[in-house]
Amino acid sequence: AGTAISGTQTAIALTSTAEFGTQTAMAGTAISGTQTAIALTSTASAGTQTAISSTLTAGAPTSTPTTIPTPAGPYVLVDVIQDALGLNQTSLVNVSLMNVPPEGYTAAEFHCIYDPAILEVGNIAPAELFGSDPASALNGPQNGSFIFAIAGSQGRKATSSGTAFTFTVRGMSAGASNVQCTARVSVGQGALEAIAYIPDSVTVFDASASPTPTQALPAYVAGQVIASKPVTIQLFDAGNALVVSQTANADGTFNIPVGAGTYTIVASAEGFLKAQGFVTLSSGSTFSMQVVNLPAGDIDGNSVIDQFDALTIGMNYNLSAPTAADLNNDGAINVLDLELLAANYRMSGALAWQ
Ligand SMILES: [Ca+2]
Ligand SMILES: [Ca+2]
Protein backbone atom coordinates (compact mmCIF):
# COMPACT_ATOMS: atom_id res chain seq x y z
CA ALA A 1 0.00 0.00 0.00
CA GLY A 2 1.22 3.44 -0.75
CA THR A 3 -0.80 6.59 -0.17
CA ALA A 4 0.26 9.89 -1.66
CA ILE A 5 -1.68 13.03 -0.78
CA SER A 6 0.15 15.81 -2.56
CA GLY A 7 3.44 16.65 -4.25
CA THR A 8 5.71 14.44 -6.33
CA GLN A 9 5.66 11.02 -4.82
CA THR A 10 6.44 7.45 -5.42
CA ALA A 11 4.95 4.55 -3.58
CA ILE A 12 6.05 1.02 -4.23
CA ALA A 13 4.90 -2.13 -2.57
CA LEU A 14 6.10 -5.63 -3.25
CA THR A 15 4.76 -8.78 -1.75
CA SER A 16 5.51 -12.42 -2.15
CA THR A 17 3.56 -14.92 -0.20
CA ALA A 18 4.11 -18.65 0.02
CA GLU A 19 1.73 -21.52 0.17
CA PHE A 20 0.37 -21.73 3.66
CA GLY A 21 -2.00 -18.86 4.13
CA THR A 22 0.51 -16.45 5.54
CA GLN A 23 -0.19 -12.77 5.78
CA THR A 24 1.63 -9.73 4.69
CA ALA A 25 1.29 -6.22 6.00
CA MET A 26 3.02 -3.18 4.69
CA ALA A 27 2.47 0.50 4.69
CA GLY A 28 4.06 3.52 3.14
CA THR A 29 2.51 6.92 3.66
CA ALA A 30 3.66 10.18 2.20
CA ILE A 31 2.04 13.35 3.44
CA SER A 32 3.46 16.15 1.34
CA GLY A 33 6.52 17.26 -0.55
CA THR A 34 8.78 15.01 -2.60
CA GLN A 35 8.65 11.61 -1.05
CA THR A 36 9.30 8.01 -1.56
CA ALA A 37 7.71 5.26 0.44
CA ILE A 38 8.72 1.70 -0.10
CA ALA A 39 7.60 -1.37 1.73
CA LEU A 40 8.97 -4.79 1.06
CA THR A 41 7.74 -7.99 2.55
CA SER A 42 8.64 -11.58 2.02
CA THR A 43 6.94 -14.34 3.85
CA ALA A 44 8.16 -17.83 4.54
CA SER A 45 6.28 -21.05 4.09
CA ALA A 46 5.15 -22.24 7.50
CA GLY A 47 2.94 -19.55 8.92
CA THR A 48 5.50 -17.08 10.16
CA GLN A 49 4.73 -13.44 9.64
CA THR A 50 6.84 -10.49 8.83
CA ALA A 51 5.75 -6.91 8.81
CA ILE A 52 7.99 -4.13 7.68
CA SER A 53 7.06 -0.58 7.09
CA SER A 54 9.03 2.44 6.22
CA THR A 55 7.88 6.00 6.02
CA LEU A 56 9.92 8.68 4.39
CA THR A 57 8.85 12.27 4.53
CA ALA A 58 10.44 15.25 2.86
CA GLY A 59 9.58 18.91 3.23
CA ALA A 60 8.10 20.73 6.18
CA PRO A 61 5.27 18.51 7.39
CA THR A 62 6.43 15.54 9.40
CA SER A 63 4.62 12.28 9.68
CA THR A 64 3.71 10.71 12.98
CA PRO A 65 5.87 7.77 14.01
CA THR A 66 4.68 4.47 12.68
CA THR A 67 4.09 1.79 15.25
CA ILE A 68 5.13 -1.58 13.96
CA PRO A 69 2.28 -4.09 14.37
CA THR A 70 4.23 -6.87 16.10
CA PRO A 71 7.84 -6.00 16.78
CA ALA A 72 10.33 -8.86 16.57
CA GLY A 73 12.33 -7.53 19.52
CA PRO A 74 11.25 -6.44 22.98
CA TYR A 75 8.36 -4.01 23.20
CA VAL A 76 5.82 -2.44 25.55
CA LEU A 77 2.22 -3.49 25.12
CA VAL A 78 -0.57 -1.32 26.54
CA ASP A 79 -3.88 -3.13 26.88
CA VAL A 80 -6.95 -1.20 28.01
CA ILE A 81 -9.25 -4.05 29.08
CA GLN A 82 -12.51 -2.21 28.38
CA ASP A 83 -11.90 0.10 25.46
CA ALA A 84 -15.37 1.70 25.39
CA LEU A 85 -16.28 3.52 28.59
CA GLY A 86 -19.31 5.46 29.74
CA LEU A 87 -18.79 8.64 31.71
CA ASN A 88 -17.27 7.84 35.12
CA GLN A 89 -16.75 4.22 34.14
CA THR A 90 -13.35 2.76 34.86
CA SER A 91 -11.19 0.23 33.06
CA LEU A 92 -8.03 -1.53 34.11
CA VAL A 93 -4.99 -1.01 31.88
CA ASN A 94 -2.22 -3.62 31.74
CA VAL A 95 1.24 -2.45 30.70
CA SER A 96 3.36 -5.42 29.71
CA LEU A 97 6.89 -6.04 28.51
CA MET A 98 6.90 -8.51 25.63
CA ASN A 99 9.73 -10.54 24.07
CA VAL A 100 11.85 -10.02 27.16
CA PRO A 101 15.30 -11.52 26.41
CA PRO A 102 16.42 -14.51 28.50
CA GLU A 103 19.10 -12.52 30.34
CA GLY A 104 16.24 -10.38 31.67
CA TYR A 105 15.77 -6.77 32.71
CA THR A 106 16.71 -5.46 36.12
CA ALA A 107 14.59 -2.31 35.78
CA ALA A 108 12.35 -0.40 33.41
CA GLU A 109 11.13 3.15 33.07
CA PHE A 110 7.71 3.76 31.47
CA HIS A 111 6.50 7.09 30.16
CA CYS A 112 2.75 6.99 29.58
CA ILE A 113 0.61 9.64 27.89
CA TYR A 114 -3.16 10.06 27.41
CA ASP A 115 -5.65 12.85 26.85
CA PRO A 116 -6.42 14.32 30.30
CA ALA A 117 -9.61 15.96 28.99
CA ILE A 118 -11.01 12.50 28.17
CA LEU A 119 -9.43 10.25 30.79
CA GLU A 120 -8.37 10.33 34.41
CA VAL A 121 -5.59 7.95 35.44
CA GLY A 122 -5.31 6.38 38.87
CA ASN A 123 -4.33 3.33 40.90
CA ILE A 124 -0.88 3.00 39.30
CA ALA A 125 0.56 -0.16 40.86
CA PRO A 126 3.35 -2.64 40.16
CA ALA A 127 2.49 -6.14 38.95
CA GLU A 128 4.49 -9.35 39.26
CA LEU A 129 6.89 -9.12 36.32
CA PHE A 130 9.87 -7.88 38.33
CA GLY A 131 9.27 -10.41 41.08
CA SER A 132 7.65 -9.93 44.44
CA ASP A 133 8.22 -6.69 46.32
CA PRO A 134 9.76 -4.57 43.55
CA ALA A 135 10.89 -1.00 44.17
CA SER A 136 8.87 1.52 42.20
CA ALA A 137 8.78 5.28 41.70
CA LEU A 138 5.97 7.38 40.26
CA ASN A 139 6.14 10.87 38.79
CA GLY A 140 2.72 12.37 38.03
CA PRO A 141 0.18 11.83 36.65
CA GLN A 142 -0.03 15.42 35.53
CA ASN A 143 -1.25 17.03 32.30
CA GLY A 144 -1.89 13.68 30.63
CA SER A 145 1.48 12.15 31.41
CA PHE A 146 3.23 10.10 34.06
CA ILE A 147 6.48 8.24 34.53
CA PHE A 148 6.52 4.93 36.35
CA ALA A 149 9.88 3.32 37.15
CA ILE A 150 10.20 -0.17 38.53
CA ALA A 151 13.20 -2.25 39.58
CA GLY A 152 13.41 -5.80 40.90
CA SER A 153 14.54 -5.95 44.53
CA GLN A 154 17.11 -8.39 45.98
CA GLY A 155 18.50 -9.16 42.51
CA ARG A 156 15.12 -10.18 41.06
CA LYS A 157 14.64 -9.53 37.34
CA ALA A 158 11.99 -9.63 34.66
CA THR A 159 12.92 -12.72 32.67
CA SER A 160 9.79 -13.41 30.64
CA SER A 161 6.97 -11.53 28.97
CA GLY A 162 4.35 -10.25 31.38
CA THR A 163 2.57 -7.36 33.02
CA ALA A 164 4.95 -4.89 34.64
CA PHE A 165 2.33 -2.62 36.16
CA THR A 166 -1.32 -1.68 35.97
CA PHE A 167 -3.38 1.44 36.29
CA THR A 168 -6.98 2.53 35.79
CA VAL A 169 -8.53 5.01 33.40
CA ARG A 170 -11.85 6.71 34.09
CA GLY A 171 -14.02 8.37 31.45
CA MET A 172 -14.17 12.14 32.08
CA SER A 173 -15.80 13.44 28.90
CA ALA A 174 -16.91 11.99 25.58
CA GLY A 175 -14.20 11.45 23.01
CA ALA A 176 -11.31 9.16 22.14
CA SER A 177 -7.86 9.04 23.65
CA ASN A 178 -4.73 7.07 22.92
CA VAL A 179 -3.12 5.41 25.90
CA GLN A 180 0.53 5.03 25.06
CA CYS A 181 3.49 3.94 27.13
CA THR A 182 7.05 4.03 25.87
CA ALA A 183 9.79 2.36 27.85
CA ARG A 184 13.50 2.29 28.48
CA VAL A 185 14.93 -0.84 30.02
CA SER A 186 18.06 -1.66 31.99
CA VAL A 187 20.02 -4.91 32.05
CA GLY A 188 21.95 -3.82 35.10
CA GLN A 189 24.89 -2.28 33.26
CA GLY A 190 24.04 1.31 34.14
CA ALA A 191 22.54 2.10 30.73
CA LEU A 192 18.98 2.50 29.41
CA GLU A 193 17.75 1.18 26.09
CA ALA A 194 14.53 2.36 24.44
CA ILE A 195 12.32 -0.43 23.13
CA ALA A 196 9.38 -0.54 20.70
CA TYR A 197 5.81 0.02 21.86
CA ILE A 198 2.22 -0.70 20.93
CA PRO A 199 -0.34 1.80 22.28
CA ASP A 200 -4.05 1.25 22.85
CA SER A 201 -6.99 3.61 22.68
CA VAL A 202 -10.20 4.23 24.61
CA THR A 203 -13.49 5.71 23.50
CA VAL A 204 -15.58 7.47 26.11
CA PHE A 205 -19.24 7.88 25.29
CA ASP A 206 -21.87 9.96 27.01
CA ALA A 207 -24.84 7.63 27.47
CA SER A 208 -27.06 10.49 28.64
CA ALA A 209 -26.56 12.50 25.43
CA SER A 210 -29.34 11.59 22.99
CA PRO A 211 -29.43 7.80 23.41
CA THR A 212 -31.63 7.71 20.34
CA PRO A 213 -32.34 10.50 17.87
CA THR A 214 -35.09 12.97 18.73
CA GLN A 215 -37.41 11.19 16.30
CA ALA A 216 -37.94 8.72 19.15
CA LEU A 217 -40.07 11.33 20.97
CA PRO A 218 -43.13 11.67 18.77
CA ALA A 219 -45.94 11.54 21.36
CA TYR A 220 -46.99 13.80 24.25
CA VAL A 221 -48.89 13.31 27.46
CA ALA A 222 -50.41 16.47 28.93
CA GLY A 223 -52.53 17.41 31.90
CA GLN A 224 -52.76 19.26 35.19
CA VAL A 225 -52.20 17.99 38.74
CA ILE A 226 -53.24 20.28 41.56
CA ALA A 227 -51.42 20.27 44.89
CA SER A 228 -49.96 23.05 47.00
CA LYS A 229 -46.53 21.45 46.56
CA PRO A 230 -44.33 20.87 43.49
CA VAL A 231 -45.71 17.93 41.50
CA THR A 232 -43.59 15.24 39.86
CA ILE A 233 -44.90 13.28 36.85
CA GLN A 234 -43.33 9.90 36.18
CA LEU A 235 -43.89 7.45 33.33
CA PHE A 236 -43.01 3.77 33.67
CA ASP A 237 -42.89 1.26 30.83
CA ALA A 238 -44.53 -2.19 30.79
CA GLY A 239 -41.53 -3.60 32.66
CA ASN A 240 -42.01 -0.96 35.40
CA ALA A 241 -38.80 0.81 34.39
CA LEU A 242 -38.83 4.58 34.82
CA VAL A 243 -38.87 6.24 31.40
CA VAL A 244 -39.46 9.90 32.25
CA SER A 245 -39.53 11.91 35.46
CA GLN A 246 -40.44 15.56 35.12
CA THR A 247 -41.52 18.32 37.48
CA ALA A 248 -44.81 19.90 36.48
CA ASN A 249 -45.13 23.66 36.03
CA ALA A 250 -45.94 25.78 39.11
CA ASP A 251 -49.68 25.55 38.29
CA GLY A 252 -49.40 21.75 37.94
CA THR A 253 -49.66 21.66 34.16
CA PHE A 254 -47.35 19.42 32.14
CA ASN A 255 -46.76 18.39 28.54
CA ILE A 256 -44.19 15.61 28.35
CA PRO A 257 -42.71 14.22 25.14
CA VAL A 258 -42.17 10.47 25.17
CA GLY A 259 -42.01 7.59 22.67
CA ALA A 260 -45.27 6.03 21.50
CA GLY A 261 -46.37 3.19 23.75
CA THR A 262 -48.31 2.23 26.88
CA TYR A 263 -47.15 3.62 30.20
CA THR A 264 -48.10 3.77 33.83
CA ILE A 265 -48.29 7.45 34.76
CA VAL A 266 -47.85 8.57 38.36
CA ALA A 267 -48.27 12.06 39.82
CA SER A 268 -46.78 12.70 43.24
CA ALA A 269 -46.14 15.57 45.64
CA GLU A 270 -44.49 15.58 49.03
CA GLY A 271 -47.11 14.99 51.74
CA PHE A 272 -49.85 14.02 49.27
CA LEU A 273 -51.38 10.77 48.11
CA LYS A 274 -50.43 9.88 44.53
CA ALA A 275 -52.56 9.66 41.42
CA GLN A 276 -51.90 6.77 39.05
CA GLY A 277 -53.23 5.57 35.71
CA PHE A 278 -52.40 4.07 32.34
CA VAL A 279 -51.86 5.91 29.08
CA THR A 280 -51.44 4.60 25.57
CA LEU A 281 -49.71 7.13 23.37
CA SER A 282 -49.64 7.00 19.61
CA SER A 283 -47.00 8.57 17.48
CA GLY A 284 -47.46 12.27 16.76
CA SER A 285 -50.42 12.74 19.08
CA THR A 286 -51.02 14.32 22.49
CA PHE A 287 -52.90 12.42 25.19
CA SER A 288 -54.64 14.67 27.72
CA MET A 289 -55.10 13.40 31.27
CA GLN A 290 -57.98 14.47 33.50
CA VAL A 291 -57.28 17.34 35.84
CA VAL A 292 -56.68 15.78 39.24
CA ASN A 293 -56.42 17.14 42.81
CA LEU A 294 -53.95 15.21 44.95
CA PRO A 295 -55.26 14.59 48.52
CA ALA A 296 -53.10 16.30 51.14
CA GLY A 297 -52.04 14.60 54.34
CA ASP A 298 -49.85 11.54 53.70
CA ILE A 299 -46.87 13.15 55.38
CA ASP A 300 -44.96 9.90 56.01
CA GLY A 301 -45.57 8.68 52.44
CA ASN A 302 -47.07 5.29 53.36
CA SER A 303 -50.19 5.80 51.19
CA VAL A 304 -52.53 6.21 54.16
CA ILE A 305 -53.66 9.51 55.73
CA ASP A 306 -54.07 8.89 59.46
CA GLN A 307 -53.06 9.89 62.97
CA PHE A 308 -49.40 9.03 62.33
CA ASP A 309 -49.31 11.84 59.76
CA ALA A 310 -51.00 14.18 62.25
CA LEU A 311 -48.37 13.18 64.83
CA THR A 312 -45.65 14.64 62.61
CA ILE A 313 -47.51 17.96 62.53
CA GLY A 314 -47.72 17.96 66.36
CA MET A 315 -44.05 17.09 66.84
CA ASN A 316 -42.92 19.86 64.52
CA TYR A 317 -45.52 22.43 65.38
CA ASN A 318 -44.63 25.99 64.33
CA LEU A 319 -41.49 24.74 62.61
CA SER A 320 -40.85 24.81 58.84
CA ALA A 321 -39.43 21.29 58.52
CA PRO A 322 -39.97 18.50 57.63
CA THR A 323 -41.37 20.16 54.54
CA ALA A 324 -43.67 17.19 53.90
CA ALA A 325 -45.67 18.29 56.95
CA ASP A 326 -46.11 21.82 55.61
CA LEU A 327 -49.01 20.73 53.43
CA ASN A 328 -50.13 24.20 52.35
CA ASN A 329 -46.51 25.20 51.65
CA ASP A 330 -46.68 28.43 53.64
CA GLY A 331 -43.46 27.83 55.58
CA ALA A 332 -45.08 26.93 58.92
CA ILE A 333 -46.36 23.59 60.21
CA ASN A 334 -49.56 24.31 62.08
CA VAL A 335 -53.30 23.86 62.29
CA LEU A 336 -53.84 24.95 58.68
CA ASP A 337 -51.89 21.88 57.59
CA LEU A 338 -53.81 19.71 60.05
CA GLU A 339 -57.03 21.05 58.55
CA LEU A 340 -56.00 19.93 55.07
CA LEU A 341 -55.04 16.52 56.46
CA ALA A 342 -58.34 16.20 58.28
CA ALA A 343 -60.29 16.82 55.09
CA ASN A 344 -58.78 13.64 53.63
CA TYR A 345 -58.60 11.66 56.86
CA ARG A 346 -58.53 7.85 56.36
CA MET A 347 -58.03 8.12 52.61
CA SER A 348 -55.53 5.61 51.28
CA GLY A 349 -53.89 4.34 48.11
CA ALA A 350 -53.35 6.10 44.85
CA LEU A 351 -56.14 8.04 43.18
CA ALA A 352 -57.31 6.44 39.95
CA TRP A 353 -56.29 8.77 37.14
CA GLN A 354 -57.54 8.68 33.59
CA1 LIG B 1 -49.39 8.35 56.09
CA1 LIG C 1 -48.29 25.15 56.55
Q: Are 277 and 200 members of one domain?
A: no
The residue that leads in pLDDT, 32 or 303, is 303
Pick from 205, 224, 248: which residue ends a domain?
A: 205
The domain in which residue 11 lies consists of 2-53
List of residues 6+ apart from 219 with CB closer than 8 A: 257, 258, 259, 260, 261, 281, 282, 283, 284, 285, 286, 287
Nearest ligand, CA 300: 1
Q: Which of 321, 80, 64 is nearest to 179 (CA)?
A: 80
CB 23 within 8 A of CB 41: no
pLDDT reading at 34 higher than 50: no
Q: How confident is the prediction for the chain on average, in pLDDT?
A: 83
Q: How far is the CA of 332 from the centre of ligand 2 (A)?
A: 4
Q: How far is the CA of 304 from the centre of ligand 1 (A)?
A: 4
- Neighbouring CB atoms inside 10 A of 23's CB total 11
Q: How far is the CA of 337 from the centre of ligand 2 (A)?
A: 5
In a domain, 261, yes or no: yes
Can you give the CATH number for the domain in which 294 is found?
A: 2.60.40.4130
pLDDT tens-digit readout, 194-233: 999 999 999 998 877 655 444 455 789 999 999 999 999 9
- Neighbouring CB atoms inside 10 A of 225's CB total 26
pLDDT tens-digit readout, 340-349: 999 999 999 9
Residues near ion ligand 1 (Cβ under 5 Å): 298, 300, 302, 304, 309
Q: Are 117 and 221 members of one domain?
A: no
Nearest ligand, CA 329: 2
The residue that leads in pLDDT, 35 or 247, is 247
What average pLDDT does range 258-279 have in this prediction?
95
In whole angstroms, what is the distance from residue 89 CA to residue 172 CA?
9
Nearest ligand, CA 325: 2
Q: Are 188 and 215 members of one domain?
A: no
In whole angstroms, what is the distance from residue 137 CA to residue 154 CA?
17
Q: How far is the CA of 46 from the centre of ligand 2 (A)?
A: 87
In a domain, 60, yes or no: no
Q: Are 239 and 316 members of one domain?
A: yes
Q: How far is the CA of 271 from the centre of ligand 1 (A)?
A: 8
Q: How far is the CA of 312 from the centre of ligand 1 (A)?
A: 10
40 - beta bridge partners?
14
Q: How far is the CA of 347 from the centre of ligand 1 (A)?
A: 9
List of residues 6+ apart from 309 with CB closer than 8 A: 297, 298, 299, 300, 325, 341
Q: How far is the CA of 275 from the centre of ligand 2 (A)?
A: 22
pLDDT tens-digit readout, 171-180: 999 999 999 9
